[in-house]
Amino acid sequence: MEVDPPATAAAGAAPATAGADGATAADPMQGSHRWELHNFSQLPNQKQYSAQFLVGGYFWRILIFPKGNNSEHLSVYLDASDSDTQAYGWSRYASFTLTVVSQFKGKDVKKDSGHQFNARESDWGFTQFLPVNELMDPDNGFLHNDTLVVFAEVHVQKSNPHLYDSYKETGHVGLKNQGATCYMNSLLQTLYHLHHFRKAVYHMPTAETEEASKSIPLALQSLFYKLQYGDTSVATKELTASFGWDTYDSFMQHDVQELNRVLCEKLEEKMKSTVVENTIQKLFEGSVVNYIECINVNYKSERKETYMDLQLDVKGCKDVYASFDKYVEVERLDGENKYQAGDEHGLQDARKGVLFEKLPPVLELQLKRFEYDFHRDTMVKINDRYEFPERLDLDVGNRKYFSPSSDRSQRNVYLLHSVLVHSGGVHGGHYYAYIRPTLEGDAWFKFDDERVTKETTQKATVEQFGGSDDDNYNHNHNNNNNNFTPPAHGGFRLAKFSNAYMLVYVRESDKDEILCNVDKEDILPHVRERLQREQEEKEKRRKEKQEAHLYTIIKVAMDRDIKAQIGTGFEDRTAAALAAGGGSNDMSADVSPGANNNSSRAIVSNPTTPASHTNEYFDLVDHEKVRHFRVQKQMTFNDFKQMVEKEMSIPVECQRYWMWAKRQNQTYRPSRPLTHEEESMAVALIRDSGTPRHEKTASGDLKLFLETPALVFGNSLHKGLPPPMREPLHTIVHDVANKRMEHLLFFKLYDPYTEMCTYVGRAFAHRDRPMSDLLPALWTFAGYPHGTPLLLFEEVKYEPVMIEEITLTQTLSEAQLEDGDIICYQRVPEVSTEETAASAGGAEVVMRDAAALSDGAAAADGHPRYDTVVKFLEYVRNRQIVRFLPLDSATQRSNDISIQSPAKDGENDDSLYIELSRNSRYDDVTAALAHRLGENVNPQHIRLTQYNAYSSTPKPAPMKYQGIDKLMDMLTHYHQISDRLYYEVLDIPLPLMESLKTLKVSYHDDKTAETSTHTVRLKKDKCIGDVLGALADQLSKGVGSPGAGAPKPKAEPATPAAEAPAPAPAPAPAATAATTATAAVGIGIHAFAATCYYNHGNNCNDEFLVRANRH
């Protein structure tokens, strides 16, 4: 059978041209439909739909492609025809049969299938139902009088048999698997169903201000609450986040026992000094007595230990009782292994063993299914059959497992509560749990991540013993033996890889306390209220999703949204600009964005903090940050305008809405105003008619720009005031053909002295008039005196940046301007003689360091860095804040590099933040860093090291000089882009260092004591003799560092200050006794014998040990 996904490959649908008749079966959930397609050979190869027919309360229709859906076959599908009118999240399951009828030969072609129909897959069927050549063959009888007959039988089921609701079926919900957290899910379900444990977790004190992702108790309280009162599977991400796990940990399978111990230890720590202190110990802690008893003398040694769980051997043990026998088995100490019984008795034969002093109310047994195989040198899983009873009596054999001092009044009979199962091998597998929440009868449930099912005792116990299928088949419940009969598997026994891994027993006498009642009163009030709010919000979101098909979202952008977003992406210079204008921080002061602020500027330096920056200098607005309205789709747009008037106090007559359009260059601009006819339509119709098909989304958003009466931002919106509403809307001029003669333009002002590019207003412009007609409005927007010369540019797009200059003599038509276009303008820059010469030679765009990022003034020496908006926007698009960190001292020492310590930018942070261009070259980067470090730093003395984004450490090898061309490549590591580089300041230029070989030489005297260490740099073609010559030269000059064996200088007695002689020059560190002696006889390469030991290290430097031999 061939079943294919929805038929969406072909072009738009054509109406069906055939007659149809249908029939509904007596059962309302079953029905059929017969469809006759006349003139079949003349049908185009488009979707053809039958008439609708009703089955199971839903409307259906047959869908075909006459000549195939991208194949040479007739394609036939069943389609849910009412999918567009169904509620959000609708789904229905139907099994169906599709038949192409042979009208006189009796050889029908019939295919059947079943599918869960939903909004994404509303049709289902067969792409290759019948080859076209067979269909057209008259001998097959499918076409008679050019008529094709297709028959459909549909059976609608109330629920998909493959869809399972754990809560409805069992009353319990599961836990979601994050990737490899099934082991954790099985443990959490086990702990949750120990009611006393759950109650203790609820009583753990947590603060209202805590976050669940940072608090294990709160995360566990939230998880248990959702398991108890929710009806859907529960996520565990908050809990794992509180563990400190990342995504990698969630996909790494850990050990159940390890997780259990760590979790209990964490909870035990959090429970200290609370009402639930010692709960973990009371539930899970037991104790044993380790003893050694001498056989021939009266001497015995005992030591008590506590445990939280018991590890029992599986290999070689038939069942739990056999494992306990082995656990308390006595070991004899004799022969060479005698026991030292103190001075009095000496070595004695003895018995060594362990006995139980106390068993806990909840007994956790870890079965040792994994062990190391010494012969195979690997870990293996023990899949042997291992039995465990539902009722475990550990008082058997006259309490043979207990020490004489144990409490004999305590009965140790346990009931099986949980069986944790591992399915798989030593290298991985799957965990799930069988749990009997009430400890009664056959009430077992299987918790397999999200799925919870009812299971039998046989399934939960006997089938988890392990072994082989034959062992379980032949198991006798009466005598627990393994009667083996010849298997029906070709002589082989098929091992079971699913078996019990951990057992949880509850002591029968403590049953009522362990399974106590737990209700909402046990949960802390603030936790209960928080979780109830979360549940209500979740239910609200679910309801909104269900009703989403009835509503649409209208996103309304206004001038104030554009003003608030454009020009605020990098840094807020408003305070500095105000200070420069008069020192006032009063935001109500009237500050025109275009005012000439060439006077003194306030400088606020905070170089340790990088400036945040985005690309919000470009385009107009981010629609996710504007006002959203959720309205019914059937609401008329005029009613929506009334809503806006009520909520935003904008009169209806002052509202004009423009549709946004996505252009080919990927920018969004207002394209046309809504007509009066559209405003009388329903909102859904406007959305569907105004949005191209390829741009429609499931959310069905409608994006609009709200035009209000004309305003001047410099006097109103700049101060955060609402726009005036007294003036009427501008009347758009139309020609005799009712074609609009005016276009809506938006304006941004650029000030090169403050490097601010801000939105200042909009205006209508006649398409046949020159741009100079707009100058009065532009002067007003900017607050410039009339007559100020201006430069105009059109912002076309930003990927890549494309800005085109516009002359004042051009008309809108000549400049190819239309509705929604953006005009950036500025003063004509004052060009000095030096600037003219620089521009003639092609001046580069200058970047800056972080010390200037928060300066109120961007200009240096009265001249702007970017004198035109074109240069500024190009700079904005390519800027990058780089964090430079000094390489740690350990790395520097291992490389034996002399580091000049730069001045720290912050008390606890050595980072330097420098703004650079992504296209900066290697020399540009080092020059900017050297400038920031100080005047005495030579750029060629700086060596850079890349950052490893995966390990969060420097790369082991530094960059070669000019080894990487562009800054963007320096910041990229295996497709991960960071913002940091490491640096070192060397004592010689980097190009010179790379041409030399750096050696670390350790000089030892004839007694093998290390007297000094030296750094020797030589050309790479030099030999060992040159190394020794350079070493001799350093020794004769007293250059070097003291070695580990150098004699320490004796402390001189203190001299009174008045008698203290003038300080003498300090001797070189290497001028030790041994060094002085060798220097006195004229040490040189020919004057002493040397033994050299070569040691190649891992830090790009080679080490030599040199020992001098006197002669």
Q: Are 990 and 938 in contact (CB under 8 A)?
A: no
CA dist 669 and 659 (Å) reads 8
Question: What stretch of H or E contains 1033?
Answer: helix 1024-1037
- Helix ranges (H only) for 603-673 are 637-648
Q: What are phi and psi of 244, to 5 degrees?
A: 90, 15
The yes-or-no answer on residue 430 being catalytic is: yes
3-state secondary structure of 737: coil
Within 10 angstroms of residue 478's Cβ, the number of other Cβ atoms is: 5
CA separation (Å) from 55 to 98, 156, 808? 15, 7, 70
Q: Are 514 and 362 in contact (CB under 8 A)?
A: yes
3-state secondary structure of 289: strand
3-state secondary structure of 804: strand
CA separation (Å) from 726 to 14, 563, 644, 713? 53, 21, 17, 16
For strands 702-707 and 668-673, give the pairing. Answer: unpaired
Q: Are 846 and 917 in contact (CB under 8 A)?
A: no
3-state secondary structure of 569: coil
CA dist 354 and 301 (Å) reads 12
- CA 189, 195, 196, 201 torsion: positive or negative? positive
Tell me, rounded to whole angstroms, the distance of Cα 504 from its chain centroid: 36
Which neighbouring-strand residues pair with 764?
Answer: 744
CA separation (Å) from 477 to 106, 388, 393, 502? 59, 12, 17, 22
CA dist 226 and 231 (Å) reads 8
Which residue pairs from 560-564 have beta carbons closer than 8 angstroms and sit at least 24 positions apart in sequence? 560/717, 560/722, 560/723, 561/621, 561/625, 561/626, 561/627, 562/620, 562/621, 562/746, 562/759, 563/713, 563/717, 563/718, 563/758, 563/759
Q: Are 733 and 742 in contact (CB under 8 A)?
A: yes
Question: Looking at 474-549, which runs of residues are DSSP E strands?
Answer: 498-507
Mention every residue, 6+ apart, whose C-beta is less than 8 A from residue 408.
399
Of 430, 549, 766, 931, the catalytic one is 430
3-state secondary structure of 85: helix
- 269, two tokens: 């720590």
CA dist 660 and 763 (Å) reads 17
CA dist 603 and 293 (Å) reads 84
CA dist 1004 and 1091 (Å) reads 10
Rg of the chain over all Cα atoms, to the nearest angstrom: 42
Of 172, 182, 193, 743, the catalytic one is 182
CA separation (Å) from 866 to 428, 749, 870, 918? 61, 14, 8, 17
- 257, two tokens: 């026992």
Q: How many residues does the chain have?
A: 1111
Question: What stretch of H or E contains 576?
Answer: helix 574-582
Tell me, rounded to whole angstroms, the distance of Cα 1080 from its chain centroid: 68
Tell me, rounded to whole angstroms, the distance of Cα 1084 from its chain centroid: 64
Q: What are phi and psi of 444, to 5 degrees?
A: -95, 145
Cis amide prior to 956 (ω within 30 degrees): no
The yes-or-no answer on residue 422 being catalytic is: no
Q: Are 463 and 478 in contact (CB under 8 A)?
A: no
Q: Which residues are catalytic?
A: 182, 430
